[in-house]
Chain A
Amino acid sequence: MTTRQVGDVTVIDVVGRITLGEGASAFRDTIRELAANGKKKLLLNLAEVSYIDSSGIGEMVSGFTTVANQGGAVKLLNLTKRVRDLLQITKLYTVFEVFDDEAAAVRSFS
């Protein structure tokens, strides 16, 4: 998992498995650290996520609420079909803003 700055938006390129244990913990720690450092515009690029379970989804939701409570936003970019299906099943597509184009996603924060 790596982070990069595009203007005032922090893009988190998430890679691999986000499941209970190491994957979900690393994901949670990254978002918490960014939030603690005042980063309030987070864009999760999920293009390279191979697997996400309910624990990973839970961490995404926790990250969303943590940052929203600080007046910021967490948005999603490049969902795979499997992640998109999960958001449909869990109704979280009503919570997260989702983008397929990074530039459009970055612009949406302003």
Chain B
Amino acid sequence: MTLVLDSTLESVDIAEERVLSEAAQAGFDEDQQHHIGMSVRECMVNAVVHGNRYNARKKVTVSISRSAGRLEVIIADEGEGFDMSNLPDPLADENLLRHSGRGLLLMQAFMDEFQIRPHQPRGTEVRMVKYLGKNNH
């Protein structure tokens, strides 16, 4: 299933709801669904706010696929992209009191696989996978 969504906060809710529906059908328990939903929410916020910067002409594409014991979500924006190596470490003592910068950390903590790469022709693509039976937190 692929959703092409506007760069709005409403799209964040839409993506989260659709992925959660798939996760429930796949048999993930309540805690796992919470982790999946939160990861999608964080990723969508990044795509809408930091990637597409609420630009009405830019879309966020959400691809959801489910197979035996596995849920994969790919979220791509059409923004300028960014270099992960330039991001401050949110766990460094000097960054603990920063207002923002924890979204990627939470996605990595909650999902079993997490990859981020440039999206062609422009933007950023995040791929996240969750497996049934594994429990991160």
Interface of A with B (CB < 8 Å)?
A: 19-21, 51, 53-55, 57-59, 61-62, 64-65, 82, 85-86, 88-92, 94-95
Q: Which residues of A contact B102 (CB under 8 A)?
A: 54, 57-58, 90
Q: Let me know if B9 and A20 touch, CB within 8 A.
A: yes
* Chain B residues positioned under 8 Å from A58 (CB to CB): 98-100, 102
B91 touches which of A53, A64, A85, A90 (Cβ 8 Å):
A90
Contact A89 B109 (CB under 8 A): yes
B106 at the interface (CB under 8 A from A): yes
Least Cβ distance of B131 to chain A in Å? 19
With CB as the reference atom, state the residue of chain B lying closest to A64.
B97
Q: Name the distance in Å between B33's Cβ and chain A's nearest Cβ.
A: 12
Given contacts A54-B45, A55-B100, A89-B106, 4 further A-B contacts (CB under 8 A): A54-B103, A82-B34, A90-B102, A90-B105
Cβ of B42 < 8 Å from any Cβ of A? yes
Chain B residue at smallest Cβ distance from A57: B102
Q: How far is the CA of A52 from the CA of B41 in the complex (A)?
A: 11
Interface membership of chain B positions 62-97, coded 1 if the CB is closer than 8 angstroms to chain A and 0 otherwise: 000000000000000000000000000011000011
Q: B96 touching A91 by the CB < 8 A rule?
A: yes
**Of B90, B99, B109, most A-chain CB atoms within 10 Å:** B99
Complex Cα spacing A19 to B9, Å? 11
The residues of A that contact B42 with a CB separation of less than 8 Å are: 53-54
Task: Output the least CB separation between A53 and chain B (Å).
Answer: 6
Which residues of the other chain, B, contact A19 by a CB distance below 8 angstroms? Answer: 41
- Whether a CB of chain A sits under 8 angstroms from the CB of B137 is yes
Are B137 and A20 neighbours in the complex by a CB distance under 8 Å? no
**Do B96 and A94 touch across chains, with their CB atoms under 8 A apart?**
yes
- Nearest-CB distance from B4 to chain A (Å)? 21
**Chain A residues near B38 (CB, 8 Å)?**
51, 53
Tell me if A62 and B99 are in contact (CB < 8 A). yes
Hey, which chain B residues are within 8 Å of A53, CB to CB?
A: 38, 41-42, 45
